[in-house]
Amino acid sequence: SVADDQSVQNGQDLRSPICCIMGHVDAGKTKILDCIRGTNVQEGEAGGITQQIGATYLPAENIRERTKGLKADAKLNVPGLLVIDTPGHESFTKLRSRGSGLCDIAVLVVDIMHGLEPQTIESLNLLKMGNTDFVIALNKVDRLYGWKTFRNAPIGKAIRQQSKDVMSEFNRRLTEIITQFKEQGLNTELYYKNKEMGETYNIVPTSAISGEGIPDLLLLLVQWTQKTMITRLTYSEKVQCTVLDIKAIEGHGTTIDVVLVNGVLHEGDQIVVCGMQEPIVTSIRALLTPHPMRELRVKGTYLPHKEIKAAQCIKIAAQELEHAIAGASLYVVGPNDDIEAIKKSTVEYKNSVMSR
């Protein structure tokens, strides 16, 4: 693909950044996800997007296509963007509060009509604790009185075409919200006016209903992560993988849903995961993703893979997973690895969780 060629040219092999969406209830997290997934795109399938287990994968090609209107000449060095689509996911909240840094970047959604709310501040605290970078989606701009819709348009273009009243109402609310962030100790600014990126957090006005600003949000997420997180995003052989969920699935027994943050997993790999009583040593029977052909998709059918390369969200079928613990790392036992040492580190993890 074009993205692969580019990363080879740059002498880098980067993995996709992982992004999660946070914010107050009703701020529009779910709707923004819908918009990103293209579920509300009228012109049919949003090209190349694949549904994963609890996540959506957008290939760079899709992002390039959707951000053409920004004339950014988007040079995308990452293969795509992995968006976690379970905002209220309990293990995700727990993981975040442990600061495990599972997500490379977050989108903090703020309702422009409401400003900062209790869970916005809660989210901010989790982000600070986990040292997680983020951008702010200032959502529901279409609710400004008199807003004219420019479906899926870049936000600058949409704002320039609003009436004076809408613009001044927008500016008034924006200024107020920037002040509220300041009270939380954070400098924020509209992303296209931000001269101090890195110190001043970026605000992207969006409408998850009519799509204004969503191109800007996608482009910013990819360009910012690939610019500032090269080391973190460099593909490594070492597997970095976290268990999110444990689920019994018909035909597969107990399975675990995982985020493969880095490295590659193979069918047959011997793995160690944290267990309720003791570490679980087992081997991967199947690496599964949802079936890509939607019309043929029967609930519960999965596509098996021989190997899967990060970053992706997948389901693993194996024996003995009934007592696995969500939130812990999954380890792959290499030919030279000391299995007892690996088992010990899962126990240490469990003790650290239990003692909280």
List residues near ligand GDP by CB under 6 A. 23, 25-31, 87, 139-140, 142-143, 207-209
- One-letter-per-residue 3-state SS of 277-331: CCCEEEECCEEEEECCCHHHCCCCCEEEECEEECCEEEEEECCCHHHECCCCEEE
Token pair of 268, please? 């047959």
Please report how close the Cβ of residue 171 comes to ligand GDP at its closest, in angstroms: 18
Token pair of 81, please? 């963007």
Please report how close the Cβ of residue 29 comes to ligand GDP at its closest, in angstroms: 3
Please report how close the Cβ of residue 277 comes to ligand GDP at its closest, in angstroms: 37
Token pair of 254, please? 């107990």
* Residue 109 or 258 with smaller CB distance to ligand GDP: 109
CA dihedral 256→261→262→263, nearest 10 degrees, is 20
* Residue 138 or 308 with smaller CB distance to ligand GDP: 138
* Residue 8 or 113 with smaller CB distance to ligand GDP: 113
* Residue 13 or 117 with smaller CB distance to ligand GDP: 117
Please report how close the Cβ of residue 330 comes to ligand GDP at its closest, in angstroms: 29
* Residue 10 or 125 with smaller CB distance to ligand GDP: 125
Please report how close the Cβ of residue 43 comes to ligand GDP at its closest, in angstroms: 20
* Residue 153 or 330 with smaller CB distance to ligand GDP: 153
SS3 for 252? coil
Please report how close the Cβ of residue 113 comes to ligand GDP at its closest, in angstroms: 9
The residue among 305, 295, 309 whose CA lies nearest residue 267 is 305
Token pair of 180, please? 């509220």
| Locus of tokens 């320039």 | 160
Point out the residue whose Cβ comes nearest to ligand GDP: 28
With 0-12 CB in 10 A as exposed, 13-18 as middle and 19+ as buried, what is 127? buried
